[in-house]
């Protein structure tokens, strides 16, 4: 029986974690073309925090979240949480009853239309509509993809959510990364970075991770060719040369920005004669700062191609779901927190220590024993 009310963590406005309120709300009903999903795990994204704090300006001085379609779509109260794993418990009009019981993973986008190869106004469940920090959520049936793989726990499945993996894949496809190319990945230990390392290997490219030295072993095990410490910028290009045998990086996947991006460009342009393609820079994040000072002359004289990346397309999400089903992508799950403990999870995420790699998942308290407890963090 589906209860008429459920527990949810409701975002009540832009601001600090006190804007997240754990409360009882009506259980949603699936509309036409939708499935009702009982949430078993939802991965946390840095995007949740930035949206909560209103840190997505496209003009100086703005405090806002996404509004690419012309107006803000983060309207309060809102239930955040984009990367949802769970089970279908009811279907709306036009959806086959046989889907009830299916375990799946959400393609988190709110697409503007049915186009499969372009997504011009990125928005997502947990932002423009309610998401997974709740016991139930209503989602479009064609975006809740069946992933039955018994070797993957629900928490691990959520850790492979599209907010990280689809963004990472779109960074790779935008820059037209090819087999054999050397690719620099910044923010390598995070959700998008760990996805990028794996995706570079899937397409046959060679990922060089920029991270901290204490995460090097884990990143090498994940597939990085070498790990470059991000602390000493002056020696960065020399260290790249040492790692690549003197060859320039073909393309950079930048999640960090700030003062590091200029050094990343250096790593592509130090020997233009040895290149066979233009230097390419895919940008999807700004964990190290939202402003980078770069000479335009450097960009156009060295013909650096820059790609801004937000989310990705339907066909990219479907490709990723296939790779997950075939066991070609691995979850990188750091640990689980109870939904009622989300404030603690947010603080832990912001102050994470040296052993942190990949994703945190949030599990409804009613699902905790089965889906969260095996991944609970000691000493969190």
Ligand X SMILES: NC(=O)c1ccc[n+]([C@@H]2O[C@H](COP(=O)([O-])OP(=O)(O)OC[C@H]3O[C@@H](n4cnc5c(N)ncnc54)[C@H](OP(=O)(O)O)[C@@H]3O)[C@@H](O)[C@H]2O)c1
Among 256, 268, 281, 320, indicate the residue that binds ligand X (CB under 6 A).
Answer: 256
CA distance 241 to 249: 9
What is the 8-class DSSP label of residue 27? P
182 CB-contact burial (10 Å; exposed 0-12 / middle 13-18 / buried 19+)? buried
Among 173, 267, 310, 367, indicate the residue that binds ligand X (CB under 6 A).
Answer: 310
Q: Which residue is nearest to ligand X (CB)?
A: 190
Token duo for residue 275: 């290149």
Of 5-13, 24-32, 303-311, 319-327: span binding ligand X (CB under 6 A)? 303-311
Residues 276-295 that bind ligand X (CB under 6 A): 284-288
Q: Establish if 19 lies at the interface with ligand X (CB under 6 A).
A: no
Q: β-strands 34-43, 83-91: how paired?
A: antiparallel
- Least distance to ligand X from the beta carbon of 352, Å? 7
- Least distance to ligand X from the beta carbon of 360, Å? 9
- Least distance to ligand X from the beta carbon of 154, Å? 20
CA distance 38 to 100: 11
Query: In sequence order, what are the residues at sequence separation of 6 or more whose Cβ sits closer than 8 angstroms to the Cβ of residue 363?
Result: 40, 41, 42, 155, 336, 337, 338, 339, 371, 372
Token duo for residue 179: 């087999």
Q: Establish if 331 lies at the interface with ligand X (CB under 6 A).
A: no
Q: Establish if 239 lies at the interface with ligand X (CB under 6 A).
A: no
Among 100, 101, 108, smallest CA distance to 132 is for 108
CA distances from 166 to 132, 221, 314, 316, 322 (A): 18, 22, 9, 7, 12
Of 42-50, 69-77, 85-93, 152-160: span binding ligand X (CB under 6 A)? 42-50
In DSSP terms, 87 is beta-bridged to: 38, 103
CA distance 292 to 258: 5
User: Is the preceding peptide bond at 77 cis, omega within 30 degrees of 0?
Assistant: yes
Among 211, 261, 292, 313, indicate the residue that binds ligand X (CB under 6 A).
Answer: 211
Q: How far from the centroid of its chain's Cα atoms is residue 189's Cα?
A: 12
Of 96-104, 148-156, 207-215, 337-345: span binding ligand X (CB under 6 A)? 207-215
- Least distance to ligand X from the beta carbon of 99, Å? 28
Of 12-20, 148-156, 305-313, 371-379: span binding ligand X (CB under 6 A)? 305-313
Q: Establish if 189 lies at the interface with ligand X (CB under 6 A).
A: yes
Q: Establish if 335 lies at the interface with ligand X (CB under 6 A).
A: no
142 CB-contact burial (10 Å; exposed 0-12 / middle 13-18 / buried 19+)? middle
Q: Establish if 174 lies at the interface with ligand X (CB under 6 A).
A: no
Residues 130-169: x where in contact with ligand X by CB under 6 A, - otherwise, as a string: ---------------------------------xx--x--
Q: Establish if 243 lies at the interface with ligand X (CB under 6 A).
A: no
Give residues in contact with ligand X (CB under 6 A): 45-47, 50, 163-164, 167, 187-193, 211-212, 215, 230, 255-256, 284-288, 309-311
């Amino acid at each position: 029986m589906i209860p008429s009310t459920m527990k949810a963590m409701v975002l009540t406005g832009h601001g600090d974690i006190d804007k997240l309120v754990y409360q009882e709300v009506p259980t949603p009903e699936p509309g036409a073309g939708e499935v009702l999903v009982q949430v078993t795990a939802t991965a946390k994204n840095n995007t949740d925090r930035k949206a909560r704090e209103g840190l997505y300006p496209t003009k100086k001085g703005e405090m806002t979240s996404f509004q690419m379609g012309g107006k803000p779509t983060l309207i309060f109260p809102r239930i955040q949480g984009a990367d949802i794993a769970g089970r279908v418990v009811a279907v709306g009009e036009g959806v086959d009853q046989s889907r009830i019981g299916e375990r799946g993973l959400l393609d988190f986008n709110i697409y503007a239309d049915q186009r499969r190869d372009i997504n011009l106004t990125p928005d997502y469940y947990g932002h423009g509509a309610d998401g997974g920090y709740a016991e139930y959520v209503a989602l479009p049936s064609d975006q809740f993809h069946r992933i039955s793989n018994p070797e993957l726990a629900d928490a691990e499945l959520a850790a492979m959510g599209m907010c990280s993996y689809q963004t990472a894949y779109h960074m790779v496809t935008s820059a037209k990364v090819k087999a054999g190319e050397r690719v620099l990945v910044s923010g390598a230990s995070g959700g998008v970075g760990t996805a990028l390392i794996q995706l570079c290997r899937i397409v046959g490219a060679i990922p060089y991770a920029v991270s901290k030295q204490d995460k090097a072993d884990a990143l090498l095990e994940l597939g990085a060719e070498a790990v470059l410490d991000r602390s000493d910028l002056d020696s960065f290009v020399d260290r790249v040369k040492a790692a690549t045998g003197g060859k320039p990086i073909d393309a950079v996947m930048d999640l960090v920005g700030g003062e590091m991006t200029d050094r990343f460009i250096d790593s592509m342009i130090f020997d233009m004669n040895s290149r066979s393609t233009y230097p390419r820079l895919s940008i999807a994040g700004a964990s190290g700062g939202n402003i980078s000072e770069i000479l335009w002359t450097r960009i156009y004289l060295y013909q650096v191609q820059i790609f801004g990346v937000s989310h990705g397309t339907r066909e990219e999400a479907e490709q990723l779901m296939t790779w997950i089903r075939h066991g070609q992508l691995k979850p990188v799950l750091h640990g689980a927190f109870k939904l009622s403990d989300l404030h603690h999870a947010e603080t832990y995420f912001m102050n994470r220590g040296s052993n942190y790699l990949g994703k945190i998942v949030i599990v409804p308290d009613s699902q905790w024993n089965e889906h969260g407890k095996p991944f609970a963090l000691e000493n969190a």
